[in-house]
Copies of this chain bind each other. A is one copy, B any other.
Amino acid sequence: MASLGDIGVSAAINILGAFAFLLAFALLRIQPINDRVYFPKWYISGGRTSPRNTGNFVGKFVNLNFKTYLTFLNWMPQAMKMSEAEIIDHAGLDSAVFLRIYVLGLKIFGPIAIVALLVLVPVNVSDGTLFFLSKDLVVNNIDKLSISNVRPKSIKFFAHISMEFLFTFWTCYMLYKEYDRVASMRLRFLASQRRRAEQFTVLVRNVPHASGHSVSDSVENFFQTNHPDHYLCHQAVYNANKFAKLVRKRERLQNWLDYNQLKFERHPEKRPNSKKGFLGLWGESVDSIDYYKQQIKELDKRLTMERQKVLKDPKSIMSAAFVSFNSRWGAAVCAQTQQSKNPTLWLTHWAPEPRDVYWKNLAIPFVSLSIRKLVISLLVFALVFFYMIPIAFVQSLANLDGLEKVAPFLRPVIELDFIKSFLQGFLPGLALKIFLYILPTVLMFMSKVEGHVALSVLERRAAAKYYYFMLVNVFLGSIVTGTAFQQLHAFLHQSPTQIPRTIGVSIPMKATFFITYIMVDGWAGIAGEILRLKPLVIFHLKNMLLVKTERDKEKAMNPGGVDFPETLPSLQLYFLLGIVYAVVTPILLPFILVFFAFAYFVYRHQIINVYNQQYESAAAFWPHIHSRIIASLLISQLLLLGLLSTKKAANSTPLLVALPILTLSFHKYCKNRFEPAFRKYPLEEAMAKDRDDRASEPDVNLKAYLADAYLHPIFRSFEEVELVEVRIDKSQTHVPSAPASEPTSPSPPHYAHHHEGAPHNVHHYDFEPPAYNAYRYEVGPPGDVYHYDVESPQHAYRY
């Protein structure tokens, strides 16, 4: 175990590492060539143009202003300049509230750290039971500052108990204030928003199939009957999943075509070739440009057919619809009430933002949803507790003797020295690494199978699953030896009162491990976050291979948003560590404080300069944050109870038993008091906003405004596809028979826009389904230009 000195060395190394990252960041960010990697948000919001347009040739790539090198930490004060209101304006409420979590961490742990260090450390040190033991035997200096140093049955435990009370009350007080503040921020944010489609729209699922009526007719009938004064219009949902697949395929082909054309442009002396077979590795060699053009043409035909099928086949209309009302009040009423006698039909919920909708899940029927939820929760349970089994199996393969027995034909290969050392040294770790790397994707996939219809909900569900995984495998797994499965087995065969004792008694011993964990995972991880090494590399690769126009460049720089499904659970783990160790080993708290402060700076900078959230949920994740911190409090109380009972301070039990009860009541109160603000929309608010609207704009045509807000992406893409077809037809074969819809096609400006700066005769196809990463569709007067951003490829599975 590490002594205080070792921790110091480790801290020094990590601090140096973090500084190295920061230095690298400071150097890279002021290079004009990297400007789009480190300031994409400003490009998107239109507040920045490329610094490469000014200056000489070298200045386009390297920063020649040496003064800027001297102030390499000046991003920190810059990041602090923006006020919270400005951040909400600039990046949305989600981001602003996300930053508040870090501030909350500082507010909770700052005073706790001071009190704990001033009170508990002297108490712990003064008892000194551990001084009698040999220094290098079991204990270390950290332990001397912890509760382990207090001798059993000591009266001093009352200091710890009263501190636990104090910390619990302080944490609850801060949580209450913060929940109050976030809830009112949310309501103010919602109230301050200008007219938005989702305020008037309700998602209706499980529309029953009436024979002889289409889904559209049923919806129209039902809502005209039951909401006669408020119903406005509705939009059907089409099952366009197959179409979307074809579109994605076309996108890939188009990328290859672009790549080859670019290659040809740069080296006009040689037309690029490619092979038809698997991955372009073998098969007949053909002219790439012609080949891909041909392929795209074929695909366009299939797209047209598929489109016809979707539009004409009544089966492709899903039993769901977006129903719009003529007032927020009407929508609020419909979203919160039960519509039909059969409560599994006509299910109404608030519609997510148009860009937040996850279209694919809209068609899942009610029964299937229940089964999916059950299956997925069983799978998550299995994943959390038994994930080591397949990994252990893979690792057992790395046992060469075992591998040779399983597959004797591999023996000659394995016996090679190079392969042998690779397998022995690398494979065991590799399996685990790969698993942990793909885990978030797996969890997101599971959430999708569960059937949630909004990206924001999907991310929250994935975050919840990741939190359970971290709680069991990182927190408990580090404290109790053995795999999660062994722990589960042990816990099932222990009495409920024994479990907190087993864990509690190991808690102080693991303090050094967690301090190291905070430094490696927390400090270094945050420094890596600001460096953005992966996006930097990918951006430059894309720039070299694919980018032709300014628009392509914009696509290549798409920064995505804060990765909530991974960030929030880690954050919650730090809260857990801080709360658990506040009483046990207070020396851990300063490390957590440094993490929170540092992460706050970094994420503030990133949110201002980099990230561009793809949806706005108005801080809908806050109740989860709140309840997980409450859960941390409960865990810490139980573990302290267990720890003290091993210290034979059993007469303190009644005192400590009161705490979980009080904490739970506090939680219940908060849930009643604040959670409805995150789940429902009060009629008072809706009515006030309606009235304001009517006063300020009495003659707005709401129906026109809402008509295509939730139009299924397939319809938008049809316009594009038709235009493309026509254009291709006209320019290449001059076939006069344009499709019937062509003359009424409403928006020639779109198409013109797509070809800005693309003088070569290539159509750049940029259909884009709205669920994609950076879908931004701005409703405006008909003459406006529509913006479409491309989805980033790693998000392609979202559709």
Residue ranges of A at the interface with B (Cβ–Cβ < 8 Å): 187, 222, 225-227, 229, 329, 332-333, 336-344, 346, 366-367, 370-371, 374, 378, 492-498, 661, 665, 668-669, 672-677, 680-685, 687
CB distance from A762 to the nearest CB of B (A): 53
Q: Which of B338, B661, B674 contacts A676 (CB 8 A)?
A: B338
Asked if A341 and B374 sit within 8 Å, CB to CB, the answer is: no
Asked if A378 and B680 sit within 8 Å, CB to CB, the answer is: no
Q: Which of B340, B346, B497, B677 contacts A343 (CB 8 A)?
A: B677
Copies of this chain in the oligomer: 2
Asked if A673 and B344 sit within 8 Å, CB to CB, the answer is: yes
Asked if A336 and B337 sit within 8 Å, CB to CB, the answer is: yes
Q: Which of B329, B337, B661 contacts A374 (CB 8 A)?
A: B661
CB distance from A325 to the nearest CB of B (A): 13
Contacts of A681 in B (CB 8 A): 338
18 contacting pairs across A/B (C-beta < 8 A) = A332-B337, A333-B337, A336-B337, A337-B682, A338-B680, A338-B682, A340-B682, A342-B673, A343-B673, A343-B680, A343-B682, A370-B668, A370-B672, A378-B661, A492-B496, A492-B497, A493-B497, A495-B496
Closest to A374 in B: B665
CB distance from A418 to the nearest CB of B (A): 45
Asked if B497 and A495 sit within 8 Å, CB to CB, the answer is: no
CB distance from A597 to the nearest CB of B (A): 33
Contacts of A374 in B (CB 8 A): 661, 665, 668
A344 to B680, CA, bound (A): 13
- A337 touching B339 in the complex, CB below 8 Å, given contacts A492-B496, A492-B497, A661-B378: no
CB distance from A693 to the nearest CB of B (A): 15
A225 to B370, CA, bound (A): 40
Asked if B337 and A683 sit within 8 Å, CB to CB, the answer is: yes
Closest to A675 in B: B343
- A672 touching B366 in the complex, CB below 8 Å, given contacts A497-B493, A661-B378, A687-B226: yes
Asked if A339 and B229 sit within 8 Å, CB to CB, the answer is: no
Closest to A662 in B: B374
Asked if A683 and B226 sit within 8 Å, CB to CB, the answer is: yes
Asked if A337 and B340 sit within 8 Å, CB to CB, the answer is: no
Contacts of A498 in B (CB 8 A): 493, 495
Closest to A496 in B: B492
Q: Which of B493, B669, B684 contacts A339 (CB 8 A)?
A: B684
CB distance from A630 to the nearest CB of B (A): 15
Contacts of A340 in B (CB 8 A): 682, 684
Contacts of A222 in B (CB 8 A): 684
Shortest beta-carbon contacts, A-B, top 5: A343-B676, A338-B680, A336-B337, A493-B495, A338-B682
A667 to B341, CA, bound (A): 19
Contacts of A187 in B (CB 8 A): 341
Contacts of A668 in B (CB 8 A): 370, 374
Asked if B337 and A337 sit within 8 Å, CB to CB, the answer is: yes
20 further A-B contacts with Cβ under 8 Å, apart from A341-B685, A493-B498, are A222-B684, A225-B687, A226-B329, A333-B333, A337-B337, A337-B683, A338-B676, A338-B683, A341-B682, A341-B684, A342-B673, A343-B674, A346-B684, A370-B665, A370-B672, A371-B665, A378-B661, A493-B495, A493-B497, A494-B495
A337 to B335, CA, bound (A): 9
CB distance from A382 to the nearest CB of B (A): 13
Closest to A666 in B: B370
A336 to B339, CA, bound (A): 11
A687 to B344, CA, bound (A): 19
Asked if B684 and A226 sit within 8 Å, CB to CB, the answer is: yes
Q: Which of B332, B343, B677 contacts A672 (CB 8 A)?
A: B343
A677 to B494, CA, bound (A): 43
Contacts of A684 in B (CB 8 A): 222, 225-226, 339-341, 346
Asked if A683 and B493 sit within 8 Å, CB to CB, the answer is: no
Closest to A222 in B: B684
Asked if A339 and B683 sit within 8 Å, CB to CB, the answer is: yes
Q: Which of B229, B338, B341, B495 contacts A495 (CB 8 A)?
A: B495
A492 to B343, CA, bound (A): 41
A674 to B341, CA, bound (A): 9
Contacts of A494 in B (CB 8 A): 495
A687 to B674, CA, bound (A): 32
Contacts of A493 in B (CB 8 A): 495, 497-498
Contacts of A227 in B (CB 8 A): 683
A38 to B13, CA, bound (A): 91
A374 to B336, CA, bound (A): 28
- Most B CB contacts (10 A, CB to CB) among A332, A492, A674, A684 go to A684
Contacts of A229 in B (CB 8 A): 229
Closest to A665 in B: B374
- Most B CB contacts (10 A, CB to CB) among A341, A493, A673 go to A341
A661 to B329, CA, bound (A): 41
Contacts of A672 in B (CB 8 A): 343-344, 366, 370
A283 to B585, CA, bound (A): 73
A682 to B225, CA, bound (A): 13
Q: Which of B337, B661, B674 contacts A680 (CB 8 A)?
A: B337
